[in-house]
Structure 1
């Protein structure tokens, strides 16, 4: 999906880059917007409103990389900061959904799967240098964001009470399947590294 969506990010980021925003400022603003949207959700408790506001705030959050490319301010520290903020954003969203819906077990399963998916690649990079883009997994962060926004909107507009719990359960299953997919790839990469050392 990145090949389709990235050109859109680039066009949306141009006004921010021209206004003098740095990538880290855009990243931090994205976290603030997520916190505001989630705090509002705790108050209004409307699933579909939360889904729409999340979609808007995550669109803004996705612009930091495009701003970095357009301003020439890409840095390893910026990439690290963005990754850390991404995890906190997912935590804030998970806590908000768990608090409002009471589906804590399903939320925990989903959040843990998302974190293990992220950790699987990060841990592999500790053992051996890996490409950051050669991990074409099924349910990465962008897919998780889109799924969450759509699920919340559907849970708010459809009359069936089962939409949210079943949707959260499917989310958790997809997260853990992706974590296992990454673990399998990591095992293959590290097995090759170990075999090379034996030569």
Structure 2
């Protein structure tokens, strides 16, 4: 949802930066890989050590690079099919690493097993949300619905970790359980959308 409403505003900022990076000789695929490696490394290094604030800012910073690969592709005139697959694959890797690192913190550091369960629900449902859309599109159907897409999931998770790291009580609990519920709802929304699209084809 946020992607739809914020895309135009964000593009006005990122497009000039993307064009500048292309002039420097960087490629969209290189930016995708850099952002993913940084986000994964930051998540897996800081969160399992209990350094939630540092982890939040490092992951957020590298996640923002994900906005630039699309801007760079537009600056070059068009994206490539490989670039699209690479971008989607790297998004799944970064998302999975973040959720896994948060779950690691909850289970091994905080030793809060119910909170760890919420983090694991977020991990699994986040991957399924993306898979349903990809599988639907591969079948010629559509699943462009859902209350929480990648941007929302990233924001909710990092706001929770950041505030909790700063000492706000139950910030992570609210973020993870809220995201777990919303993610499951999104999976159901997308499956229903695919079912409806399949029924329309039959009709």
How does the TM-score come out when normalised to structure 2? 0.86
Match for 1:176 among 181, 184, 191?
184
Q: How does 1:11-22 map to 2 (within 5 A)?
A: 11-22=16-27
Note if contact 1:22-1:73 (Cα within 8 Å) is conserved in structure 2: no
CA deviations 1:75-124 (Å, max 9, x no partner) are 11110111111101011111211112214311110011111211221121
Note if contact 1:24-1:78 (Cα within 8 Å) is conserved in structure 2: yes
Shift of 1:42: 4.4
Query: How many aligned positions are there?
Result: 191
Are 1:100 and 2:99 counterparts?
no
Give distance in 2, aligned partners of 1:136 and 1:148: 20
Give distance in 2, aligned partners of 1:146 and 1:84: 19
Give distance in 2, aligned partners of 1:39 and 1:121: 27
Shift of 1:156: 1.1
Moved over 3 A (4+): none
Note if contact 1:152-1:164 (Cα within 8 Å) is conserved in structure 2: yes
Shift of 1:136: 4.4
CA deviations 1:108-151 (Å, max 9, x no partner) are 10011111211221121232254xxx824321111111222211
Are 1:145 and 2:154 counterparts?
yes
Shift of 1:56: 0.8
Gaps of 5+ in 1: none
Match for 1:79 among 61, 81, 84?
84
Partner of 2:130: 118
How does the TM-score come out when normalised to structure 1? 0.87
Are 1:128 and 2:135 counterparts?
no
Gaps of 5+ in 2: 1-5, 108-114
Shift of 1:192: 0.5
The CA RMSD measured in Å over matched residues stands at 1.9
